[in-house]
Amino acid sequence: AGWGNAAGKGFNKSYRLYFYSHYYCFGSVDAAMIWYFIAGALFGIVGGMGMGGGIVLIPVLTLLLGTEQHMAQGLNLTAFLPMALFALINHIKNKRVDYKAALFMAIPGAIGAAAGAMLAGIAEAGLLKIIFGVVLIALGLFRTAAFFSSAKKTASASKKH
């Protein structure tokens, strides 16, 4: 009975080891599940807004919940599917989807995803953490520069009027 018998024997053993390791960190498996629920909610909110929920979920899983990098990336992708579906339905209803542009991004994106998944499968967890961290820092710097550039343009435009 319970979560431990949810699937085959191999899953059973790894599942128990995974969540029992969280018992020592959080005091109970139930407490760990609450943190996973909170992480999923934050992931859904950020991802539903189109900002990439993995930016929130992967650091929460690896840094706060002690999830191994490969497992965190797999959980991220699995949780992404239903979140993306609901967000996409909303964006379609609000006519915020350019289907032609989406097609031109989706096909090479699928090819890139297959290549990236193969590379992630052979890469060490430490290397994946470094790559993920570098990408997050680069995105943060890019967004910060874009913000200040936009603020500067706005300030210049308001002075002209």
pLDDT of residue 111: 93
- Kindly report, residue by residue over 8-64, the tens digit of the pLDDT: 444 444 454 455 555 555 666 667 778 788 888 888 888 777 777 788 888 888 888
Residue with tokens 């991220």, as numbered in its chain: 76
pTM above threshold 0.75: no
pLDDT of residue 28: 63
C-alpha dist (Å) from residue 15 to 7, 10, 11, 115, 135: 10, 8, 6, 28, 30
Q: Are 33 and 54 in contact (CB under 8 A)?
A: no
> Which amino acid is it at 56?
V
User: Residue 120 is encoded by which pair of tokens?
Assistant: 């992630």
Report residue 2's pLDDT band, with 50, 70 and 90 as the boundaries: very low
pLDDT per residue over 110-143, tens digit each? 999 899 889 988 999 899 999 989 988 998 899 8
